Amino acid sequence: MDFIIQNILNALQWGSFYALIALGYTLVYGVLRLINFAHGDIFMVGAYIAFFVAGFLLGPALGLSPFMTFLLAVPLTMALTACVGVTLERIAYRPLRRKGAHRLYVVITALMCGLILEYSNLAVLGASRLKFPELVEKSIWHLGGVTITNLKVIVIVAAVVVFLFLNFIVTKTKIGMAMRGISYDKFAIPLMGIPIDSIIVFTFILGSGFAGLAGLLFAMSYPILEPFMGMLIGWKAFIAAVVGGIGDIKGAFVGGFLLGFIEVGVVAMPFLESTYKDLFGFTILLIILWIKPTGLFGMPQSTKI
Amino acid sequence: MLVCSAFLLAGCGEEKAQTIKIGFNLPLTGDIPEVGEGSKNAAEMYLKDINDAGGLEVGGKKYPLEFVYMDNESKAESATNVALKLIDQENVVAIIGPNSSKQAVPAGGTCNDNRVPMISPWSTNPNTTLDRPWVFRAAFLDPFQGPVVADFAAKKFNAKNAAVIFDVSNDYSKGLAEIFKSSWEAKGLGPVVAFESHGTKDQDFSAQLTTVIAANPDFIFVPDNYNQVALIVQQARDLGYQGPFMGSDAWGTPDLIKLCGEQCYGNFFSTHYAAAGAKGATKVFIDRYEKAYGNTPADYAALTWDSIGIMIEAIKNYNKVDSDPVEMRKGIRDGLAAIKSFDGITGSSKFDAQGDPIKCAVVVKISDKGEFVFEESVCP
């Protein structure tokens, strides 16, 4: 029993990262119908930004305590990562959109942007891995046979809070209404006096900002950074978003945790090797898509988000 | 007149000094970039020594050495590509590397098929040299390392059982884990209570570690690369594991301490040499390396140094330099096969019929200051 509960906690933590990244995919897709393949690398950039922000705040110039650093690093990392996302939108996606390029070319541009982020990181910082400093003093709690750290709790709570927050923004606010409007018809929306570019920038700020948060939390949980850390997790989070029904916030959240549970579950099975993790995981996801091609919560081509 | 002077300018009058070109197949980026860098540093030091003295004296004439470094990105498929590039485009006469068995096993096949002598400094998997007359190595083998680890852990930790976590997509890690398991069981030391695997790109090991810890092992054997070790040790502690870890020679990188920090202190691993407390030629090498690059050379740097030494001895055995690389390669291979023993800075070794050295292993403890301290030496 302890074994199962422990693995549920493991899966909740791992799924939280998928969910946080999948939310970013889904937001941008929901508004622009664009699969922002650079999103996993924005997550990676977020982790590196967190590393440098933490290094600066802890460093001799300011010398803050680790906990103060954590409190300040959260908004700073989110803001700086959001800047990276918005920059990508400005220099890569907006010019293509203005020219009326087909969506396919924008997706390929996104893939390219991701590679540029990876390899510019490799070129500037080198292949050597970085060690993320410990910001939250770790306490390990033993509840019966189950062990949980405060960091695990922070990660899981953060994923839930971010989901609730985004859900609130999209469904309850005016700007969320505008986002849903663009998703419905991006040619009619400007006629209603809604500044379409500002709304799209806002979407990128949200998506990239939370990728930054995911990067920070990931770097705290798995404190070894390398330039390609965002690639695989980014792809998997994208698949999670598709299975959840891309464009739907609830779908991304559920899809992320679903993938986390499948991966941890397959590894935890006593009679299965860890090599079967991805094979089983993606077979299950494929079966879900066979049964429901729009994903768990997706609607066939009406309003997304 | 004009034509002749043009030729003179181009160097037709004097014969261009022929160089001996040796290729290096190194992981300069990817999962283990420190390994590539350490090897390259050692090679640069060796190259400078030889070329400052006017080159390598072969058959009464001095030939400068030329080293070509290529990055295999720590990937198996890139390692074979690099080997082919070094052979076909660079026309090297011999290849040193790849270091890790994951790359050395496939690249060894490529070199053997193309009849190019290759020495892997750091690969410990038997398959690297098995039935490959053109492939040699400078490190001991996992069938030797596995029992060393098992004996040491049984004695040191009073272990009655063991758990293993390893990288299933890495020949080195998988091979050593299996050898360890069979030697642990063959010695009747007790059961291997958990035998868990993971992938190279994995970052979360908590599911595997939950299984491992639930089996309540006396120690956990982790034959993994240093970057994964840092994550595995931390996550095991987070899941409440208090016991010791035992590692293998892939731990022996200064970066292990940088990435793992205090959580790795007090653990043991088997390796090729211990830098702390070294004597003689080993100490000279360590001091020079530290002066040149500002950090202690890890085992792969020392083994690269020895590999180059073995290669040089093979060239001297052949005692001539051919302009045709194919001819030269054959000569070097015969020269390598003729070496019966070699005194290097990682200890002296004898070579068996497979081209594998028979040499001692050391077990190292990670001290409270993060230094690798000599604990025990085990000889075959």
* Residue B9: per-residue pLDDT: 47
**Neighboring chain B residues of A273 at a CB cutoff of 8 Å:** 168, 197
Confidence at residue A83, expressed as pLDDT on a 0 to 100 scale: 97
> Looking at beta carbons, which residues of chain A come within 8 Å of B201?
232
Tokens 């700086």: give the residue: A80
Non-local CB neighbours of B268 within 8 Å, separated by 6+ positions: B152, B153, B156, B244, B245, B246, B247, B363, B364, B365, B366, B375
Q: What is the mean pLDDT of residues B112-134?
A: 93
If DSSP codes are grouped into helix, strand and coil, which group holds residue B188? Answer: coil
CA distance readout (Å), B165 to A8, A132, A265, A273, B169 = 21, 24, 17, 12, 12
Q: Centre a 10 Å sphere on the Cβ of residue A90 and count the other Cβ atoms it contains.
A: 13
Query: Is A189 an interface residue toward B (CB < 8 Å)?
Result: no
| Residue of chain A with shortest Cα separation from B31 | A127
CB neighbour list of residue A279: distance below 8 Å, 6 or more residues apart: none
Give the DSSP per-residue string, B263-280.
Answer: GGTT-EEEES--STT--H
DSSP structure class, residue B128? G
**CA–CA separation, A110 and A32 (whole Å):** 13
Contacts of B177 in chain A (CB under 8 A): none
Interatomic CA distance for residues A197 and B358, integer angstroms: 70
Asked if residues B59 and A158 have their Cβ atoms less than 8 Å apart, the reply is no
The region, left, alpha or beta by phi > 0 then psi within -120 to 50, assigned to residue A144 is left
Query: Are A10 and B204 inside 8 Å of each other by CB?
Result: yes
Least CB-CB distance to B214: which of A3, A222, A233?
A3
Query: What is the C-alpha to C-alpha distance for residues B280 and A282, in angstroms, rounded to an integer?
Result: 57
For chain A, say whether B47 makes contact (Cβ under 8 Å).
no
**CA–CA min distance A148, chain B (Å):** 7
Q: Is A136's Cβ below 8 Å from some Cβ in B?
A: no
Share of chain B above pLDDT 70, in %: 96
pLDDT digits 0-9 by tens, B31-53: 889 999 999 999 999 999 999 99
Q: Do B210 and A126 touch (CB under 8 A)?
A: no
In a mutational test of the A interface, the residue from B238, B242, B256, B263 whose CB has the highest number of chain A CBs within 10 Å is: B238
Question: Starting at the edge strand that comes first in sequence, how are the strands of the sheet with B220-222 ordered?
Answer: B192-198, B162-167, B220-222, B245-247, B268-271, B361-366, B372-378
Confidence bin at B98 (pLDDT 50/70/90):
very high
Predicted confidence (pLDDT) at residue B2 exceeds the cutoff of 70: no
Residue B337 has pLDDT above 50, yes or no: yes
Residues 6+ apart with CB under 8 A from B4: none
Flag if A129 and B234 touch (Cβ within 8 Å): no
Tell me how close the Cα of B227 comes to any Cα of chain A, in angstroms: 8
- Using only C-alpha atoms, chain A has a radius of gyration, in whole angstroms, of 19
Q: Which residues of A touch B203 (CB under 8 A)?
A: 222, 224, 229, 233
Query: Which pLDDT value is given to residue B11?
Result: 45
Give the full edge-to-edge strand order of the sheet including B357-358: B341-344, B347-351, B357-358
Q: How confident is the prediction along chain A (305 residues), in pLDDT tens digits per residue?
A: 889 999 999 999 999 999 999 999 999 998 888 899 999 999 999 999 999 999 999 988 888 888 899 999 999 999 999 999 999 999 999 999 889 888 889 999 999 999 999 999 999 998 888 999 988 888 899 988 899 999 999 999 999 999 999 999 999 999 999 998 888 888 888 898 999 999 999 999 999 999 999 999 999 999 999 999 999 999 999 999 999 988 889 999 999 999 999 999 999 888 878 888 889 888 988 999 899 888 888 777 655 55
* Rounded Cα distance, B310 and B314, in Å: 6
Mean pLDDT (whole number) for B228-250 = 93
* pLDDT, tens digit, 9 for 90 and up, residues B169-191: 888 999 999 999 999 999 888 89
In tens, the pLDDT along B219-236 reads 999 999 999 999 999 999
CB contact under 8 A, B201 and A3: no
What's the pTM value of the predicted model, to 2 decimals? Answer: 0.87
State mean pLDDT over B355-376.
Answer: 89
- Chain A residues close to B208, C-beta within 8 Å: 267, 274
* CB contact set of B153 (below 8 Å; sequence gap of 6+): B159, B162, B219, B221, B246, B268
What dihedral angle (degrees, nearest 10) is formed by the CA atoms of B120, B121, B125, B131? 40
- What letter would DSSP give residue A189? G
Higher pLDDT among residues B379 and A201, named by residue: A201
Interface test with A, best of B164, B193, B204 (most A CBs within 10 A): B204
DSSP state of B250: G
Residue B1: what pLDDT?
Answer: 45
Instruction: From chain A, pick out residues whose CB is under 8 angstroms from the CB of B169.
Output: 275
Task: Supply the pLDDT for residue A39.
Answer: 95
Closest residue of chain B to A140, computed from CA coordinates: B238
Contact, B107 vs B98, CB < 8 A? yes
Q: Are A129 and B227 contacting, i.e. CB atoms less than 8 angstroms apart?
A: yes
CB contact under 8 A, A147 and B240: yes
- Chain A residues touching residue B231 (CB < 8 angstroms): 222, 224
Task: Examine the pLDDT at B332 and tell me if it is beyond 50.
Answer: yes
CB B101 within 8 A of CB B123: yes
d(CA A99, CA B222): 55
User: Of A197-211, B3-17, B68-82, B145-159, where does mean pLDDT reach its minimum?
Assistant: B3-17
Element (H, E) at B155: helix B142-156
Q: In sequence order, which residues have a C-beta less than 8 Å from that of residue A203 and are 6 or more positions away? A: A27, A28, A31, A32, A179
Within 10 angstroms of residue A7's Cβ, the number of other Cβ atoms is 22
DSSP character string of A115-153:
HHHHHHHHHHH-SS-EEPPP-SPP-EEEETTEEEEHHHH
Which residue has tokens 């990128």?
Answer: A204
Contact B45, B288 (CB under 8 A): yes
Q: What is the pLDDT of residue A276?
A: 86
Asked if the Cβ–Cβ distance from A264 to B206 is below 8 Å, we say: yes
Contact between B199 and A122 using a beta-carbon 8 Å cutoff: no
Q: What gap in Å lies between CA B119 and CA B136, rounded to an integer?
A: 5
Instruction: Give the residue carrying structure tokens 């077990």.
Output: B363
pLDDT single digits (tens) B273-328: 888 778 888 999 999 999 999 988 999 999 999 999 999 999 999 998 988 999 99
Q: Cβ of B239 under 8 Å from any chain A Cβ?
A: yes
Hey, are the CB atoms on A264 and B29 less than 8 Å from each other? no
CB within 8 Å: A127 and B28: yes
Q: How far apart are the first and last CA of chain B?
A: 70
**Closest C-alpha to B35, from B95, B82, B98, B92:** B98
For β-strands B341-344 and B347-351, DSSP reports them as: antiparallel
Phi, psi of A221 (to 5 degrees): -80, -40
Interface A:B, Cβ pairs < 8 A = 89
Of the residues B210, B211, B232, B241, the best mutation for testing chain A's interface (the one with the most A CB atoms within 10 Å of its CB) is B210
**CA–CA dist B174, B168 (Å, integer):** 5
Q: Which of B169, B150, B273, B168 is nearest to B218 (CA)?
A: B150
**Are residues A127 and B259, on separate chains, in Cβ contact within 8 Å?**
no
Which of B257, B247, B297, B245 is closest to B273 using CA atoms?
A: B297
d(CA A26, CA A50): 23
